[in-house]
């Protein structure tokens, strides 16, 4: 179980992140939505260890993450950042291979068969076979995102943090990868926390949605509770119609 | 891994470089103000040569200088590469972070103190320069530190600030006492002339230690060169790893500065050329940097003593002459690829 209490953070400007209490169960597939600048990525960065100068506590199975070593943490949490670029020309395979570093000794330069298999598997399901030797910096936006998703999958952790991981994907890859991630939660009891701007995707694939605004969690509930015309109006200031998905019966929005 | 490299022909090329390095060593040891046959140099090396004057000249004056140049070139290239990777700036140079300005100041201060104020200082100008190059870089790191982090931008900025501070002191002394400081200035522009076997073995030890540390930290280096965030995702603390690598490289380059003054452009240009061949970072890049950097500096040393013989040009002038156009060429080329 993940437990966040009294979390406070600021970049030193007027943005303040403040989460008093948040609990996430193992195996949960949780979505976070909210307008631009509401602090979604900031929360992901704090959780993944990129930002470490916050006050408050984040616990995983009652262990404070600030007291867990970086290496151990990287065997528990994998992250797909909102965007990722490299300065030097690494190829796709090089980037994905780093996912196995948490499991090997740093002096050991070769990978074992298990590492190789899971990397190959991740490359296969993200449809990147053709891109193995291509420079990451020369890939398209969606291809880059798939590389980082493959990397997170190959890292094989209990918790996955996905920051808008479908934002550049075409519908085919989106559906495919959303299903794979959903199966991880159901079959392998992995905890997935994903940030979305696509409310319909969040509603379709997760049972619990958090709404962030101005650095705080404003709403927390099931898609049925969260996705109403009134709420959407209040969060985004945007007028929509809410309909029920013809097959899955979850709420979906359409633009007015 | 080796299979992958062989496919790209990287290992054969490396073997080729090693052989070329040895041939160049013989070649540059043979030619200079006194020329002998390459075969004779080889005979000297295997102790089958009789003329003791020539033998003495080659073995004790020229060879340590050629071999020392090679090692300095290797160290500068390796350090330049590591620095460029860990501070995520392909234009970084080992001298960027205040090292050379501190060394210059130390040398000038030493000369001023001993020659003008007749202080007696128990160690030489080299040690003084060494101490000050460490001092200036620590100052840079201290200023740029924010808590436990060293943000790259502030590292570069404080490098510029500390450098200009030390440089203004250097200029101050030079303007006041220019008559006494000419030879210091020549030394500052880089000089391999005074390298002896003792220097060579010290530098060789530095190089070996540097290589071992870099190999031990190979994975960390690989991650850091993909960025701070990638390091965190893959389970290392980028701040501490960067600090260790920074210190090790500064120390290594300071040794070079203390032995041969400031030799620019090697640490900037050679890693670029090597990256064009090998890609960003892997164990093999370090080996390439050893040989490409070494050959380049042996060649520069040769030019510095033969172009205007018997007058010697400072080797730093040669490396800049050769390095700057090469660098411009690389920049233009890589921009065309964008
Ligand atoms: N490195 C930074 N330094 C200073 N302020 C920052 C930094 N990163 C983000 N901010 C500010 O913090 C606030 C929250 O940013 P964050 O990236 O968490 O938003 P977000 O919810 O992920 O938005 P988006 O939907 O656009 O991705 C914004 O107002 C942003 O300007
Ligand atoms: Mg964001």
Give the three-state DSSP class for A85: coil
> Do B226 and B49 meet the contact criterion of CB atoms below 8 Å apart?
no
Q: For an interface test with A, which of B233, B272, B337 has the most A Cβ atoms less than 10 Å from its Cβ?
A: B233
pLDDT digits (tens, 9 = 90+) for A118-147: 999 999 999 999 999 999 989 999 999 999
- Compute the mean pLDDT over every residue in chain B, rounded to the nearest whole number: 84
Over residues B149-165, the mean pLDDT reads: 84
Q: Which domain holds residue B229?
A: 2-82+92-337
Which of these, B117, B133, B130, B188, lies nearest to B166 by C-alpha position?
A: B133
Q: A109 falls in which pLDDT band (50, 70, 90)?
A: low
The pLDDT of residue B38? 79
- Tell how far the Cα of A145 is from the centroid of ligand 2, in angstroms: 14
Q: Given pLDDT bands bounded at 50, 70 and 90, which one contains residue B335?
A: low
Give the pLDDT of residue B3: 39
Q: Which atom of ligand 1 is closest in space to residue A43's alpha carbon?
A: 18
The residue nearest atom 29 of ligand 1, judged by CA position, is: A37
Across the interface, whether the CB atoms of B235 and A90 are under 8 A apart is answered no
What is the distance between the alpha carbons of residues B221 and B170, in angstroms, rounded to a whole number?
35
pLDDT of residue A106: 65
Domain boundaries, chain A: 2-76+157-255, 86-156
A17 CA: nearest ligand 1 atom: 14
Q: How far does the centroid of ligand 1 lie from the alpha carbon of residue A39, in Å?
A: 6
Q: What is the pLDDT of residues A203-226, one digit of tens each?
A: 999 999 999 999 999 999 999 999
CATH topology of domain A2-76+157-255: Rossmann fold (3.40.50)
Least Cα distance to A26 among A190, A202, A193, A207 occurs for A190
Write the residue with the smallest CA distance to atom 10 of ligand 1. Answer: A11
Cα-trace Rg, chain B: 21
CATH of the domain at B166: 1.10.3470.10
C-alpha B37/C-alpha A251 separation (Å) is 88
Asked, for residue B66, whether it belongs to a domain, the answer is: yes
3-state secondary structure of A166: coil
For the segment B29-48, the average pLDDT, to the nearest whole number, is 79
ipTM for the predicted complex comes to: 0.92
Q: What is the mean pLDDT of chain A?
A: 93
Strand order in the sheet with A77-80: A77-80, A159-163, A191-195, A29-33, A208-213, A216-221
Assess whether pLDDT exceeds 90 at residue A196. Answer: yes
DSSP assignment of B184-238: HHHHHT---TT--HHHHHHHHHHHHHHHHHHHHTHHHHHHHTT-HHHHHHTT--H
- Which pLDDT band, with edges at 50, 70 and 90, does B338 fall under? very low
User: Of A40, A39, A48, A47, nearest to A10 (Cα)?
Assistant: A39
Domain count, chain B: 1
In chain B, which residues have their Cβ closer than 8 Å to the Cβ of A107?
Answer: 216
- Residue identifier of the C-alpha nearest atom 16 of ligand 1: A39
Give the nearest chain A residue to B89 (CA atoms): A87
Q: Quick one: what percent of chain B has pLDDT higher than 70?
A: 94
- The tens digit of pLDDT for each residue in A11-49 reads 989 999 999 999 999 999 999 999 999 999 999 999 999
Radius of gyration for chain A, computed over Cα atoms and rounded to the nearest angstrom: 18
The predicted-structure confidence for B52-103, as pLDDT tens digits, reads as follows 777 777 788 888 999 999 999 999 999 999 989 988 888 778 777 788 888 8
The residue among A165, A166, A11 whose CA lies nearest residue A78 is A165
Least-confidence region, from A6-15, A106-115, A172-181, B72-81: A106-115
CA of B231: which chain A residue's CA is closest?
A98
Ligand nearest to the backbone CA of A39: 1
Smallest Cα distance from A103 to chain B, Å: 9
Global pTM reads 0.89
Q: Does some domain include residue B87?
A: no
Query: For residue B8, what pLDDT is reported?
Result: 55
**In this predicted structure, which of A85-89, A90-94, B279-283 has the lowest mean pLDDT?**
B279-283
- Chain A: closest CA distance from residue B234 (Å): 6
Q: Which residues surround ligand 2, an ion (CB under 5 A)?
A: A 41, 82
What count of CB pairs under 8 Å joins A to B? 77
Q: Which of B34-43, B64-73, B272-281, B325-334 has the highest mean pLDDT?
A: B64-73
User: pLDDT digits over A41-71, tens only?
Assistant: 999 999 999 998 899 999 999 999 999 999 9
Testing ligand 1's pocket by substitution, the residue of A13, A14, A17 carrying the most ligand atoms inside 8 A of its CB is A13
pLDDT, residue B9, reads 61
Question: Measured in whole angstroms, how far is the alpha carbon of residue B296 from the centre of its chain?
Answer: 11
């Amino acid at each position: 179980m993940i437990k966040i209490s009294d979390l406070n953070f600021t970049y030193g400007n007027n943005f303040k992140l403040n989460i008093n209490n948040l609990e996430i169960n193992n195996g949960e597939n949780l979505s976070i939505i909210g307008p631009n600048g509401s602090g979604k990525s900031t929360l992901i960065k704090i959780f993944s260890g990129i930002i470490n100068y916050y006050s408050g506590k984040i616990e995983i199975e009652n262990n404070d993450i600030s007291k867990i070593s970086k290496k151990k943490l990287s065997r528990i949490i994998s992250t797909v950042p909102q965007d990722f670029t490299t300065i030097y020309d690494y190829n796709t395979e090089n980037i994905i291979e780093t996912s196995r570093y948490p499991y090997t000794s740093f002096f050991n330069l070769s990978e074992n068969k298990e590492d190789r298999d899971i990397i190959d598997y991740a490359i296969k399901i993200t449809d990147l076979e053709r891109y193995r030797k291509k420079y990451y910096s020369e890939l398209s936006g969606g291809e880059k995102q798939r590389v980082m998703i493959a990397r997170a999958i190959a890292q094989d952790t209990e918790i996955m943090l996905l920051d808008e991981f479908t934002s550049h994907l075409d519908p085919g890859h989106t559906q495919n990868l959303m299903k794979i991630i959903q199966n991880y939660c159901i079959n392998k009891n992995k905890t997935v926390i994903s940030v979305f701007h696509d409310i319909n995707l969040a509603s379709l694939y997760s049972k619990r949605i958090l709404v962030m605004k101005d650095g705080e969690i404003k709403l927390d509930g099931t898609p049925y509770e969260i996705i109403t015309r009134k709420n959407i109006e209040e969060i985004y200031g945007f007028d929509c119609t809410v309909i029920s998905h013809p097959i899955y019966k979850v709420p979906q929005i359409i633009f007015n | 891994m080796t299979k992958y490299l062989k496919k790209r022909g990287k290992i054969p090329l490396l073997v080729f470089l090693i052989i070329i390095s040895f041939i160049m060593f013989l070649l540059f040891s043979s030619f200079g103000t006194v020329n002998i046959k390459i075969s004779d140099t080889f005979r000297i090396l295997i102790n089958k040569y009789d003329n003791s004057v020539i033998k003495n000249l080659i073995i004790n004056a020229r060879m340590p200088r050629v071999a020392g140049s090679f090692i300095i070139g290797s160290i500068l290239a390796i350090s330049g590469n590591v620095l460029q990777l860990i501070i995520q700036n392909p234009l970084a140079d080992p001298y960027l972070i205040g090292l050379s300005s501190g060394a210059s100041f130390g040398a000038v201060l030493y000369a001023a103190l001993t020659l003008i104020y007749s202080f007696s200082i128990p160690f030489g100008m080299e040690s003084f320069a060494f101490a000050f190059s460490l001092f200036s870089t620590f100052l840079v790191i201290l200023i740029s530190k924010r808590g436990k982090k060293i943000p790259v931008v502030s590292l570069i900025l404080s490098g510029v600030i500390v450098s200009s501070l030390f440089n203004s002191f250097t200029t101050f002394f030079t303007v006041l006492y220019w008559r006494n400081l000419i030879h210091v200035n020549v030394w500052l522009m880089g000089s391999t002339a005074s390298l002896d076997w003792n220097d060579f073995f010290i530098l060789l030890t530095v190089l070996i230690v540097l290589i071992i540390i870099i190999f031990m930290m190979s994975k960390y280096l690989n991650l850091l060169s993909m960025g701070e965030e990638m390091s965190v995702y893959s389970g290392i603390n980028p701040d501490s790893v960067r600090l260790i690598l920074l210190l090790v490289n500064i120390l290594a380059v300071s040794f070079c500065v203390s032995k041969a003054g400031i030799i620019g452009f090697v640490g900037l240009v050679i890693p670029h050329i090597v990256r064009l061949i090998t890609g960003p970072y892997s164990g093999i890049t370090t080996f390439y940097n050893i040989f490409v950097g070494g050959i380049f500096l042996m060649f520069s040393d040769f030019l510095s003593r033969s172009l205007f013989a018997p007058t010697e040009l400072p080797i730093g002038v040669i490396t800049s002459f050769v390095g700057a156009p090469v660098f411009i060429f690389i920049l233009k080329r890589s921009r065309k690829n964008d």
